[in-house]
């Protein structure tokens, strides 16, 4: 008798699970984010009770929320959030790789035609005004305008280096900005009071 009851429960569960997809677009599905009864839907991503909603993609508990598209746990072999459009082919696995490539570019005289590299003007932190401890964007007298870091890098590429500006989504521009950050961090470490 116990085996028959167990078999009956297993059959009912299997039938219930196989029927679940049929309700996927209906109001009877408690995990349908489009359900009309939003207050009663525990998986509604628009629920006002964000902290209590385990399926809310905006939940503050990113590591605990398996439905959060912004989760910090990467899927092995996959870059970025699945389904999102990429700005470029994958370039770096981490900041250190980007900064290391930026360091090579920072000392590369062949980026322009003037015979200069970034280090020609900025060796030993010269002409960067790092002592001011100001973040980009800010006013740069040489440019005569408020510019972002990327714009400043490209200004130097076009003018002192007599080269070509980097594309805004290029790995080179990312690497130069990463190295600038690492260079600035090293300056702050070397000049800590």
Q: What is the pLDDT of residues 77-109, one digit of tens each?
A: 556 777 888 899 999 999 999 999 999 999 999
**pLDDT value, residue 134:** 86
CA 131 to chain centre: 29
38/16 Cα distance (integer angstroms): 23
**pLDDT value, residue 20:** 44
**pLDDT value, residue 126:** 85
**pLDDT value, residue 150:** 97
Reported as a single tens digit per residue, the pLDDT across 38-53 is: 555 555 555 555 555 5
Please answer whether residues 55 and 42 qualify as being in contact, where contact means their C-beta atoms are separated by less than 8 angstroms. Answer: yes
Strands 138-140 and 145-147: antiparallel
98/10 Cα distance (integer angstroms): 54
Opening angle at CA 182, ends 88 and 162, nearest 5? 65
**pLDDT value, residue 44:** 57
The structure's pTM equals 0.59
Pull the structure tokens for residue 35: 């359900």
Structural domain spans, the chain: 26-66, 95-190
Pull the structure tokens for residue 95: 């900041």
- Stretches in the chain below the pLDDT threshold 50: 12, 17-26, 62, 76
**pLDDT value, residue 129:** 86
95-190, superfamily in CATH?
Cytochrome c-like domain (1.10.760.10)
**Which residue pairs, CB below 8 angstroms and at least 24 apart, start in 67-75?**
67/43
């Amino acid at each position: 008798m116990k085996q028959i009851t167990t078999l009956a429960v297993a059959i009912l569960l299997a039938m219930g699970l196989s029927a679940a997809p049929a309700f996927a677009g209906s109001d009877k599905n408690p995990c349908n984010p489009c359900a009309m009864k939003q207050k009663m839907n525990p998986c509604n991503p628009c629920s006002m009770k964000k902290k209590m909603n385990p399926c809310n993609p905006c939940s503050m508990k990113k590591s605990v929320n398996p439905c959060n598209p912004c989760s910090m746990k990467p899927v092995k072999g996959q870059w970025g959030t699945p389904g999102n459009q990429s700005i470029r082919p994958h370039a770096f696995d981490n900041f250190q790789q980007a900064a290391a490539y930026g360091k090579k570019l920072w000392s590369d005289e062949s980026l322009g035609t003037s015979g200069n590299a970034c280090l020609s003007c900025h060796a030993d932190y010269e002409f960067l005004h790092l002592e001011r401890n100001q973040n980009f964007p800010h006013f740069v007298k040489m440019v005569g305008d408020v510019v972002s870091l990327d714009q400043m890098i490209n200004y130097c590429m076009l003018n002192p280096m007599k080269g070509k500006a980097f594309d805004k989504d290029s790995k080179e521009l990312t690497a130069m900005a990463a190295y600038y950050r690492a260079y600035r961090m090293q300056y702050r470490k070397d000049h800590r009071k």
